[in-house]
Structure 1
Amino acid sequence: MELNFEFFNEWVQRKLGIRLGAYKERQMQRRISNIMESAGAASLEQYAKILETDSVARHAFVEHLTINVTEFYRNKSLFDMFEQRLLEQIVPKFDHPKIWSAACSIGAEPYTLAMILAKNNVAGGRIVATDIDDEILKKAKAGLYQNNEVKNVTSSDLNKYFVKTDDNKYQVSAALKNKITFKKHDLLKDRYESGCHVIVCRNVTIYFKPDARDEVYRKLSESLVQGGILFTGATETISLAEQMGLKKVDSFIYQKI
């Protein structure tokens, strides 16, 4: 059976405000087909009717589209390079660095950034963490994590910045939570943060078509102050970096020039 993706893409943008056309086509269509079948729908028209009336199905759809696989210090060696750049080039130059964790998922990334600031006695840093999914943001704000999500955190940092719960989960301390402001944000349609000294946007643009990916990187560059840095994912490269006012200064780290 041939599915009417043209109808569904238009419906999703009109009703849910999500630009499916910006995502890689085959990958997105495969994911939509899978969750449509899981919801018991035989067509995209029928699935749209389910989404219109069922808030649980709507949440499941958005969560299925947005990949929320993450952990603290994801790609630890790259985070070590990033931390060095942050401490050498950003902290000495800017008294109150503004850090934006874009597409922050369940919050492991911004809490990692908060830990880095706390461990290095950077008192004035501000972290804004954003994601498209309301339910994921709720989880991020709660700051409660499984063992596998904190596997890269040292035992001393676990003791200092987390409280172990009775069911063997790890609760982020209030000290880290207080450093972060969580907001809903769609990289494909919403206004970007401004005056950022650091932006961390990792493992997101790999799902976008080239035009949408370049648009996101251009806007991220515009959000940075001169001398600010952008930290991308381990499989992401900015092909038009120079045209966007960026130069590559380390593995997956770019600086605004």
Structure 2
Amino acid sequence: MELKFDYFYDWAKKKLNLDLRAYKQKQLQRRITTVMRNGGAASLEEYSKLIEKDANIKQQFLDYITINVTDFFRNKDIFSEFERIVTSDLNPKFGPLKIWSAACSIGSEPYSLGIIMDKNNLPIKGKILATDIDEMILTRAKEGSYKETEIKNLDSVDLKRYFVLEKDLYNIDKNIKKMVEFKKHDLILGRYGTGFHIIICRNVTIYFKNEVKDEIYKKFNDALVPGGVLFTGATESIYNPEKLGFRKLSTFIYEKV
């Protein structure tokens, strides 16, 4: 039976405020088909009704589609280069830094930023803004509790300094937790703030169509101050940074011109 994806996309936009047409379609449709069958539905019409009725099925769908895979200091060598740029360039240039961690998932990236700022004694402007489309994942991020696999990139000194081990979970230090403010935000449909010195958005735009990806990068550029930086994921090189208002500072790190 042929699945009615157009129907499902219209339904998702209306009922979930989720723009599924922005995603790369082959990959997305495979994922929707898998999660639909796992939910016990034979058609997308039936699956949409199940999502509306059952909060657990709805959350299962959102978790599966919005892909929450991350850990602290992911791609550690790239994060080290980012830390060097923050300490040697951005802080001397701007002073207190206004920071946004977009599509923050379980919170490991904004908390990683908090650790960088704390260990280098760098001031931040207000709090680190951390946003994601998934409200359930934001709830988990606010808890700040992590499995051993999610903190594997931390060295022993930082692990001892910034985490407390309780019942096989590593709980982030309360002072780091206080540095971060979590909010719901949709990168495709939501409004963007302004005046940021740092935006970090990693391993998310790879799931979007190229035109949607470029539109997001343009919005990030508008949200940054001149000289501010965008830090992307290790599979997300921007091949035309000049057209989007950036210049390449380092691998996966771009400065607003």
TM bucket (normalised to shorter chain) is: over 0.9
**In structure 1, C-alpha distance between the alignment counterparts of 2:171 and 2:40, rounded to whole Å:** 37
**In structure 1, C-alpha distance between the alignment counterparts of 2:138 and 2:31, rounded to whole Å:** 22
Aligned residue identity for 1:69:
V
**In structure 2, C-alpha distance between the alignment counterparts of 1:172 and 1:195, rounded to whole Å:** 28
Q: Is the 8 A contact 2:135 2:184 kept in 1?
A: yes
Question: For each residue in 1:56-114, what CA deviation from the matched residue of structure 2 results, as whole angstroms up to 9, or x when unmatched?
Answer: 11111111101111100000000001000111111111122011100000000000000
> Quick check: 1:138 aligned with 2:127?
no
Secondary structure class of the residue paired with 1:160: helix
* Pairing 1:1-257 to 2, within 5 Å after superposition: 1-125=1-125, 126-165=127-166, 167-257=167-257
Secondary structure class of the residue paired with 1:255: strand
Q: Is the 8 A contact 1:214 1:240 kept in 2?
A: no
Q: Is the 8 A contact 1:35 1:64 kept in 2?
A: yes
Alpha-carbon distance, 1:150 to partner:
0.5
**In structure 1, C-alpha distance between the alignment counterparts of 2:194 and 2:53, rounded to whole Å:** 37
TM-score, normalised on structure 2? 0.98
**In structure 1, C-alpha distance between the alignment counterparts of 2:80 and 2:138, rounded to whole Å:** 26
**In structure 1, C-alpha distance between the alignment counterparts of 2:176 and 2:15, rounded to whole Å:** 36
Alpha-carbon distance, 1:120 to partner:
0.1
Alpha-carbon distance, 1:123 to partner:
3.0
Alpha-carbon distance, 1:238 to partner:
1.6
**In structure 1, C-alpha distance between the alignment counterparts of 2:85 and 2:139, rounded to whole Å:** 31
Aligned residue identity for 2:111:
Y
What is the aligned-residue RMSD (CA, Å)? 0.8
Secondary structure class of the residue paired with 1:237: coil
Percent identity between the aligned chains?
50
Any unmatched runs of 5+ in structure 2?
none
Aligned residue identity for 1:221:
N
Secondary structure class of the residue paired with 1:91: helix
Q: Deviation above 4 Å: which 4+ runs of structure 1?
A: none
Question: For each residue in 1:128-172, what CA deviation from the matched residue of structure 2 results, as whole angstroms up to 9, or x when unmatched?
Answer: 00000000000100000000100111111111111110x121000
Secondary structure class of the residue paired with 2:92: coil
Secondary structure class of the residue paired with 2:93: coil
Aligned residue identity for 2:149:
N
